[in-house]
Amino acid sequence: MGILDEQFRLVDGKTVRKPLGLRTQLSLDAMSLTFADVQWMGPLTAIYCHHDLGFSLSETGIIMGAQYAAAVVMNPLSGIIMDNSKAKKFLMALAFCLTALTYLLLSTVKSYAGVFSIILVQSAISGMYIPGINSLSLGFVGLDGFAKRCTRNEIFRHVGVMIAGITPALVVPVHGWWIFFMVQTSVAVFAALVVLMGVDSSKIDHEAARGQEPAVKDGLKAAMSYRDVFTKLGVMMLLAAVISFHTGNAAMLPMIGDKIDELVESNSTEFGLPYLGEVDGTVGVGVLEAVTEALSIPVALLVGTFADRPGWGRRRVAIIGFTILPIRGVILASIESVPALLATSVLDAIGAATCGVVAILMAQDLSVDTGRFSTLQGAVGASIGLGSALSQVIAGFIADAAGFSTTFLALGGIALVALLIMILMKETKPELLSRDRLGTPMTESLLVYKNESFDDYDARNESST
């Protein structure tokens, strides 16, 4: 019995995919939540290396830079591995086990070379999770069910990010880093067991997981070349929009923390919260992160719902979310109040959750019939990392030279580029709409656009003229 027999059924003369079983649903939920919690040390690396291990700021900076570089490089490489492998379950379980091992080693290794190596490996492994989970999701639910499953993944990811922020705050001050590392090790081992026990490899349609038609026979069909995939007009515009968005977005949060510290030090404003006391930059960033992630959960649900709703589509929802970030930049540049700065977390949640869901859905649309779904997901992840790294560098230079207000305006201006790109893009799932702005049927024109390269685009325009 093949995948088609096991995963599909006839309903009113049409072949439809069977609903995903509860065990598989819960397994994907658990993977999405736990990977967001344990995938890497992230910003905690700077605190642990400098304040607890006594590394210099320059040494810590080298580790931080290598950490982000490894994640950026490994995202597309992990996608390539997922697209060309049928051992997706094994690879995900292995990733969680290796992550557990890195936390276990961090609890004992204190040398600079050792910590550097462990953090580098941990960051490289982190690039496996998003392409892997999305590939498994698509292999289980197919194209028609991916938007709903992707939205659910994002909701649990935001919960995981909240846990990742709360866990060190609760554990490290009271029990120290060793207990924290043991907690993270245990969570990663639990996630590996969930993959091994909860994921049924026989129900994964590996062709669908690559963005191809459902598999009928064993083996994988030939995929589109990488050059053809990454010279598609839609793919290039999507990656450019993601890089621009995160270049404008990533540095805003730490800059808000720095601005709060400046306001507190100048005694121009004071603000306290119950149980937390006076809000300084560190507390403010923690509050912003927690509130943003909590608000991102309902926002992600709405975005996923409307992005797959007829009459809306991915692009229209993306334009709404991408409009928020330039507005946020202008607002941040004009306010001098700690409560007002904290209130901007609402805008952060709308923008970040929209980009998170829509980018994945658009990449999935653009990967149809290419066999490069996970590769493109990895490229989106790399674009996020690249944009985030550029954001920190650009914001740092501008803030030193011209202050916070100019920095927020500049970041908002960069985010405006992402919005303009999204406005120029066409809907990546045209069947959700009936007609474009000129009143012409969208299905044919946009399906051509979705899979064409710049050469195809130029040739089509020449023939039409």
Q: Quote the CA–CA distance of 173 and 185 in Å, as a whole number.
A: 19
Nearest alpha-carbon partner for 34 in 102, 170, 133: 133
Q: Quote the pLDDT of residue 391.
A: 86
pLDDT of amino acid 16: 52
- Token pair 């050469």 is found at 455
Average pLDDT, the chain: 83
Number of H helices, E strands in the chain: 19, 4
Q: Give yes or no for residue 437 having a pLDDT over 90.
A: no
pLDDT at 64: 80
**Range scoring the smallest mean pLDDT among 173-182, 268-277, 290-299, 416-425:** 268-277
Cα distances from 456 to residues 50, 235, 370, in angstroms, run 52, 14, 16
Q: What is the pLDDT, as a whole number, of residue 259?
A: 86
What's the CA gap between 450 and 365, in Å, rounded?
8
Joined together, the tokens standing for residue 245 give 């968005």
Percent of all residues in the chain with a pLDDT value above 90, rounded to a whole number: 43
Question: For 366-377, what is the mean pLDDT?
Answer: 90
* DSSP-assigned letters across all residues of 221-289: PPPPPHHHHHTBHHHHHHHHHHHHHHHHHTTHHHHHHHHHHHHHHTTS---EETTTEE--HHHHHHHHH
d(CA 196, CA 200): 8
Q: Which of 13, 17, 22 is nearest to 5 (CA)?
A: 17
Name which of 419, 366, 400 is nearest 143 in CA terms. 366
Between residues 317 and 284, which one has the greater pLDDT?
317
Identify the band that residue 436 occupies on the pLDDT scale cut at 50, 70 and 90: very low
Band of residue 191 on the pLDDT scale cut at 50, 70, 90: very high
**Which H/E stretch holds residue 16?**
strand 14-17
Q: Looking at the predicted structure, is the pLDDT value of residue 130 above 80?
A: yes
Instruction: Give the model's pLDDT for residue 69.
Output: 84
Asked if pLDDT for residue 222 goes beyond 90, the answer is no
CB 454, CB 231: distance < 8 Å: yes
Alpha-carbon distances of 230 from 236, 240, 367, 378, 450, rounded to whole Å: 6, 12, 10, 12, 12
**Averaged over 213-228, what is the pLDDT?**
66
CA distance 124 to 128: 8
Query: What pLDDT score was predicted for residue 449?
Result: 45
Whole-Å CA distances, 176 to 51, 189, 301, 439: 13, 21, 36, 63
How crowded is residue 445: how many other Cβ atoms within 10 Å of its Cβ? 15
Residue 145 amino acid letter:
G
- Sequence-distant contacts of 443-449: CB under 8 A, at least 24 apart: 449/233, 449/234
Side chain identity at residue 364, one-letter code? Q
DSSP letters, 165-208, are: HHHHHHHHHHH-HHHHHHHHHHHHHHHHHHHHHH--GGG--TTG
Q: Can you tell me which residue has the tokens 């919005």?
A: 419
**Separation CA 449–CA 348 (nearest Å):** 31
The pLDDT confidence band at residue 430, using thresholds 50, 70 and 90, is confident
DSSP state string for 358-404: HHHHHHHHHTTTTT-HHHHHHHHHHHHHHHHHHHHHHHHHHHHHH-H
Q: Binning pLDDT at 50, 70 and 90, where does residue 106 land?
A: very high
pLDDT surpassing 50 at residue 11: no
Would strands 277-278 and 272-273 be described as parallel, antiparallel, or unpaired? antiparallel
Instruction: Say how far apart CA 71 and CA 378 lie, in whole Å.
Output: 10
| 123 in Cβ contact with 40 (< 8 Å) | yes
For residue 318, is pLDDT > 70?
Answer: yes
- Nearest alpha carbon to residue 39 among 112, 130, 104: 130
29, 82 in Cβ contact below 8 A? no
Residue 201 confidence (pLDDT): 86
**What's the helix, strand, coil split of the chain in %, to 5?**
75, 5, 20
Query: How do residues 29-65 score in pLDDT, each as one tens digit?
Result: 999 999 988 988 877 887 788 878 988 878 887 888 7
Helix (H) or strand (E) holding 11: strand 8-11
Cα of 192 vs its chain's centroid, Å: 21
